[in-house]
Chains A and B, each alone.
Chain A
Amino acid sequence: MATAAIEHHDVPHHHTSTGLDNTKIAVWAFIGSECLFFMSLISTYLIYKGRSLVGPLPHEAWTDPATGQTFPAILNIPVTSGSTFVLLMSSLFMVLAHGAVVRGDRKYSKFWLAATALAGATFLGFQAFEFTEFVHNGLTIKRNLFGSTFFTLTGFHGAHVTAGVIWLITLLFIDVRRGLGPRDAVNVDICALYWHFVDVVWIAIFTLVYLIQ
């Protein structure tokens, strides 16, 4: 098991004109459209970056000239690095879950599906903590251009993670009820594709929003 490649030879395929599974084609087309969606949000964030008239600002402290109140740099890199690590690990858990389903190993498929869903939920917990901290520190979606574009971008990503967690819990529920086996490999595979896509979007967001000053 340790070095066995994940094979799909035992998974039945429907006959299609392309010879490929139509569901997978649809999911890849959906992921392609999601690339355009997230790039529109990222480009909006980057266009308005550094153009906020009032703080709080992402990487530097800001003092309100009217009140003299100082707002610290708002981004918390250690916390976000932690959530990034959790999301990256969830992708590993997802491929392990998929491999277990392909092998028909119900014990490990349940375990890794649960681990992936838990990692996704943990990421959402980090995001909820971050959003709450930002609001307490004076940054709301209406406060400035940074707040508007930041909450829109990361909020939509969080919504995608939420959808992914619900999808994973649904698969876990099915696995517990009747068991997932090689015949369900495509269904788990498309969930995995979506989950990995959510991960790669976060890879871009983490660098462009959090690290580049």
Chain B
Amino acid sequence: MAVEHTHNTEAEAVHAEQHAEHHHPTWKEYKWVALILFVITVAEVWAYYIPAFVASRAFVPSLLIMSVAKFAIVVMFYMHLKYDAKLFRALFLGPLAIAVISVIALLFLFGQISLGG
């Protein structure tokens, strides 16, 4: 009986995992995602046209943060990586991490960015 109970628990766990992998956002969520992407894009372009903000040290970091946010939202919801199998996440995030680290390393190497300005 104990063995049967264990089997049931395992089956439920597998089912729950499969269900999580199959869950996808609703239409409402997709439309909210589109609205958020639009608002962030408007904010980016708006920031570009404020000379005082462009001249400030906050300009580049804020644009990068907004861009990363848009990137993450599309990948998580439209590409449904948030709900999909872990293998897909590894196949995407592994090369992406290598790519981002390579770009940062190259920018340091060629003197485009440096520590301490």
Contacts and interface: CB of A to CB of B under 8 A. Distances in A.
Interface stretch (A22-30, A125-133, A176-184): A22-30
Contact of A77 (B24, B45, B60, B94): B45
B64 A207 contact: yes
Q: Interface size class for chain A?
A: 35 or more
A32 B91 CA distance: 6
A163 interface: no
A190 to B, nearest CB: 11
Interface stretch (A5-13, A64-72, A146-154): A5-13
B63 A20 contact: no
Contacts of B63: 207, 211-212
B79 A7 contact: no
B94 to A, nearest CB: 7
Interface stretch (A137-145, A167-175, A193-201): A193-201
Which residue, A20, A88, A204, has most C-beta atoms of chain B within 10 A? Answer: A88
B20 interface: no
A84 B24 contact: no
A207 B30 contact: no
Given A4-B26, A18-B87, A99-B27, A32 B107 contact: no
State the main secondary structure of chain A at its contact with B. helix
Contacts of B66: 207
A85 B38 contact: yes
A2 interface: yes
A211 B87 contact: no
A195 to B, nearest CB: 9
Interface string B1-32: 00000000000000000000011111110110
B41 A47 contact: no
A46 B103 contact: yes
Interface of B: 22-28, 30-31, 33-34, 37-38, 41, 44-45, 47-49, 54, 59-60, 63-64, 66-67, 70-71, 74-75, 78-79, 85, 87-88, 91-92, 94-96, 98-100, 102-103, 106-107, 110, 112
Interface of A: 1-9, 18, 20, 24-25, 28-29, 31-33, 35-36, 38-40, 42-43, 46-47, 49, 77, 81, 84-85, 88-89, 91-92, 94-96, 99, 192-193, 196-197, 199-200, 203-204, 206-208, 211-213
Name the 4 nearest CB pairs between A and B, nearest first: A39-B99, A32-B95, A207-B67, A28-B91
